[in-house]
Amino acid sequence: MDYNGPNSEFHQKSAHLCGRELRGCRPSGSGNSGVNYISVLTSEIDPSTNRFIASGSTPRTYDAAGNITIDTKFRGLKYDYDANGRQSAVKLLDNTSIQSSVYDCAGQRVQTTDGNKSRTMVYDVFGQDVADYLGSSGALLERENIYRGGQLLATFETGAAATPTGLAATAESGSITLSWSAASGATNYHVEREGAGGLTRLAAPQLQLTLLTKG
């Protein structure tokens, strides 16, 4: 990191990879080009370590390996790491969990939990991610990857979720109201209408106008 005198002001774009920072600094007054930078003062940097100081209004702390453990200046997050330096958890400053990760003995990330969503990754003997499963038990197939000679050829995404339950249709004056209980793993639903030509998937405007018309 270069300095242009003890009173120089630098700007830093916040960017992180597994709790480590990618710093792009420039002197105050240079062009912005529309990128949102966060000001960094030389007083916030410890010149003996080239790291941010662990005091002041926006301190940052590091572990013995140099991984960022608390970032109050840019992200407002805390990071945990396993014994091999792999990021195992991301939390808010109040210790609310955002994401956690589990790794196998080969260092491959085999499971992530983000909020209420868990994903399990399966690898082949070459270390290639061949399948992703959703759910805490890893029972719902989300994606399969096909390789040839180490190159990814195709990805198949099932997009399938459990069948919704409690489907009910209520006839009203000039319309029909559909209701059901959400299925685990479902992010959206397609509604189809059966006619003389077979099933027709309805778009959002049709759901409001056509689907709710009797007949």
- For the whole model, what pTM was predicted? 0.55
Domain ranges of the chain: 165-209
**Cβ 59 vs Cβ 68: under 8 Å:** no
Coil vs helix vs strand at 138: coil
CB atoms closer than 10 angstroms to residue 90: 19
**What are the residue ranges of helices labelled H in the chain?**
204-209
The pLDDT of 159-176, averaged and rounded, is 75
Higher pLDDT among residues 12 and 132, named by residue: 132
**Cβ 108 vs Cβ 127: under 8 Å:** yes
Which range among 7-11, 83-87, 159-163 shows the weakest confidence by mean pLDDT? 7-11
CB atoms closer than 10 angstroms to residue 144: 15
**What is the β-pairing status of strands 117-123 and 109-114?**
antiparallel
The C-alpha atoms of residue 67 and residue 77 are separated, in whole angstroms, by 13
The pLDDT of 34-53, averaged and rounded, is 85
Q: What's the gap between Cα 203 and its chain centre?
A: 28
Phi, psi of 95 (to 5 degrees): 75, 15
User: How is residue 176 annotated by DSSP?
Assistant: E
CB atoms closer than 10 angstroms to residue 172: 9
Phi, psi of 128 (to 5 degrees): -95, 135
Encode pLDDT of 111-167 as tens digits: 999 878 899 999 999 999 999 998 877 778 889 999 999 999 999 887 656 677 888
Higher pLDDT among residues 39 and 185, named by residue: 39
